[in-house]
Amino acid sequence: MTVSTTSPMQIPPGLVIAQQLPDLLLPSKVRRGVVGFLRNNPTVAIGGALLLCLVLVGIFAPYLGTVDPTAIAPAKRTRAPSADFWFGTDLLGRDIYSRVLYGARVSLTVGLSVAALASLAGLAIGLVSGFVRWADSVIMRFIDGLMSIPPILLAVALMALTRGSVGNVILAITIAEIPRVSRLVRGVVLSLREQPYVDAATASGTRTPMVILRHILPNTLAPMLVQATYVCASAMIVESILSFIGAGTPPTIPSWGNIMAEGRALWQVKPYMVFFPAAFLSVTVLAVNLVGDGLRDALDPRMAKSL
Amino acid sequence: MVSYILRRILATVPVMAIVAFFVFSLLYIAPGDPAAVIAGDQASPADVERIRQSLGLDRPFLVQFGSWLWHILHGDLGTSIFTSLPVSSLIAQRIEPTLSLMAITLVLTIVVAVPLGVVAAWKAGSWVDRTIMTFAVFGFSLPVFVVGYLLAYVFALQFEWLPVQGYTPFAKGFWPWLQSLILPAIALGCVYIALIARITRASMLEVLQQDYIRTARAKGLGQRSILFVHALKNAAVPIVTVIGLGIALLIGGAVVTESVFAIPGLGRLTVDAILRRDYPVIQGIVLLFSFLYVLINLMVDVTYTLVDPRIRY
């Protein structure tokens, strides 16, 4: 409702009349396409740009002025950062700049693989659990049990039993992340299957697999995508923690956790040994979280208001 | 309420049984011969055989699980392969620093995060809110050892206000004990504070829109009383829930924090056990922490009835 302020009627002194309200029905400028989406969601744009840079750094690590990240040079041990060694050298004389750049590969591979694998597995478990009544209680008891083991400890226990390799790290973190994704998908599925359009589809003779594929699956994708970014961020942190405590990526492969673990003994006198990998790790995780927060705001305006 | 509490306690029994089953069967999920993996690469066939015997790996799976569970129910978590000491006594030696660290972090988190979340919700949309929420995003993104090293570098090495590393037992006095745990607790609490502040804000925003808050304002109550008495009490259930669930972050983070700050706790024991492939110790620690986690969340469920009298079971 609007109050006209242009009426010729005399306004008695002391009476305050409300300002004209903005017309809420005016068409707001709608931006479309990828560019429009990014302009409407600057956090996604910033996070995405940072992430893209890091992916490029990982891919083109060999061409960015790096040397062999595993080449040992005892004569050049523990050099401080300089023009020759941008980030200094470690205890074995290896170039930390090269190691950090190559380390991006491990973190990003682990983060993205775990996000993809955990999402797929969680989607499958969540869909079955949400649609097959008898399986639901059995699956959920198992998920409850798995969720009672703190994820990092579960990954530690799994890694303690396998030989360290990037593949095993991915597998261990994926297993630790699956319960959370399954829970989310199940929750979404349970609320979706009560929707009238699902009833309508069933009533018009659509078979259950088709209902799932056509009507349920597309609607789980938005929350799944947001969850996947958080899984990705968490996986990168867990990978670095596992490597840092010696239960992750084997020491022969430069990963940010490994570089920090090697610098740990000397960090009080040579802080740069820990600083550079730590900074890269933090920026990467921050970038992924920014993308996640932005996507959440964009895809679920209801949640955006509250969180 | 007593029957509710009893039912909740009974409901944790199957969960704990599944946890125990998982922790036990991990040994078999792993590819290859578990005895050979535990023995390591340099082990002779005789060593492998010895480990197989001592862990009882030559018996059928369910028999092993049964006897393992039986021992655990009697407080016997097995024997360390490396030190030949009972796992339960190894854990008992190391538990004080870890529990101290977790308790201080928990107190710090609640004291810092809840007021931050309340203020952010109260000033929603303002620069105060934005600043707090930006810090929350950073808190989520900075891994615990990054914060740990940063804090230790600034406050211990540069300013020399606090000890760099190490742990002083509580028996040597409250102040030295607290001093040795302040930096680790802040480092460990970062993620947790970010999480709780976010949830508090979200929960408070919802409550602040309710009619009775308008009524409270209309009858002239002060802002503080509205926020902390009327609103926070009703926003408490999700906050308490997430505090309970967040304990998982705390447990995982404690392992790393202890190794950054050289605190001789369960985290240190875990790291040593990993390096020595001392699987019974790892099993014992995972089981203990999971049990603690389930227990804390049981307590959280019980506190619901205290903070919200509407909840009746």
B-chain residues within 8 Å CB-CB of A141? Answer: 14-15, 18
The answer to whether residues B34 and B57 touch, using CB atoms and an 8 Å cutoff, is: yes
Closest of B175, B192, B199 to residue B257, by C-alpha: B192
Q: How far is CA A34 from each of CA A30, A38, A288, B307, rounded to the nearest angstrom?
A: 13, 6, 18, 47
Minimal Cα–Cα distance from A229 to chain B, Å? 12
Instruction: Indicate yes or no: CB of B271 within 8 angstroms of CB of A237.
Output: no
Closest of A106, A53, A134, A118 to residue A239, by C-alpha: A106
Minimal Cα–Cα distance from A288 to chain B, Å? 9
The per-residue pLDDT string of chain B (313 residues; one tens digit each, 9 = 90 and over) reads 777 778 888 888 888 888 888 888 877 766 666 677 667 667 777 877 877 777 777 777 788 888 888 888 887 888 887 787 888 888 988 899 999 999 999 999 999 999 999 999 988 888 999 899 888 888 888 888 888 888 888 888 777 777 777 788 878 888 888 888 889 999 999 989 999 999 999 889 888 888 888 888 888 888 888 888 888 888 888 888 888 888 888 888 888 898 888 889 898 898 888 888 788 888 889 889 988 888 888 888 888 777 777 666 5
Q: How far is CA A264 from each of CA A143, B183, B245, B260, B297, rounded to the nearest angstrom?
A: 36, 17, 31, 8, 35
For A:134-153, CB contacts with B below 8 A are 141-142, 144-146, 148-153
Minimal Cα–Cα distance from A87 to chain B, Å? 17
B-chain residues within 8 Å CB-CB of A156? Answer: 255, 270, 274, 282, 286
Pick from B12, B18, B198 the residue to mutate for testing the A interface (most A CBs within 10 Å).
B18
Instruction: Indicate yes or no: CB of A278 within 8 angstroms of CB of B273.
Output: no
Q: How far is CA A204 from each of CA A127, A200, A211, A214, rounded to the nearest angstrom?
A: 22, 6, 11, 14
CA pair distance B242, B246, nearest whole angstrom: 6
Return the minimum-mean-pLDDT range out of A23-32, A262-271, B217-226: A23-32
Does A44 have pLDDT greater than 90? no
- In this prediction the ipTM stands at 0.84
B-chain residues within 8 Å CB-CB of A271? Answer: 149, 153
Q: Which residue has the tokens 């190794």?
A: B259
Instruction: Indicate yes or no: CB of A268 within 8 angstroms of CB of B293.
Output: no
Q: How far is CA B144 from each of CA A131, A147, B18, B247, rounded to the nearest angstrom?
A: 39, 21, 30, 14
Does A304 have pLDDT greater than 50? no
pLDDT digits 0-9 by tens, A48-83: 899 999 998 888 878 777 777 777 777 777 677 777
For A:194-253, CB contacts with B below 8 A are 233, 237-238, 240-241, 244-247
Q: Considering only residues B291 and A303, tell me which one the structure prediction assigns the higher pLDDT.
A: B291
Contacts of A82 (CB under 8 A, 6+ apart): A88
The answer to whether residues A281 and A100 touch, using CB atoms and an 8 Å cutoff, is: no
Instruction: Indicate yes or no: CB of B157 within 8 angstroms of CB of A148.
Output: no
pTM: 0.84
CA pair distance A24, A21, nearest whole angstrom: 8
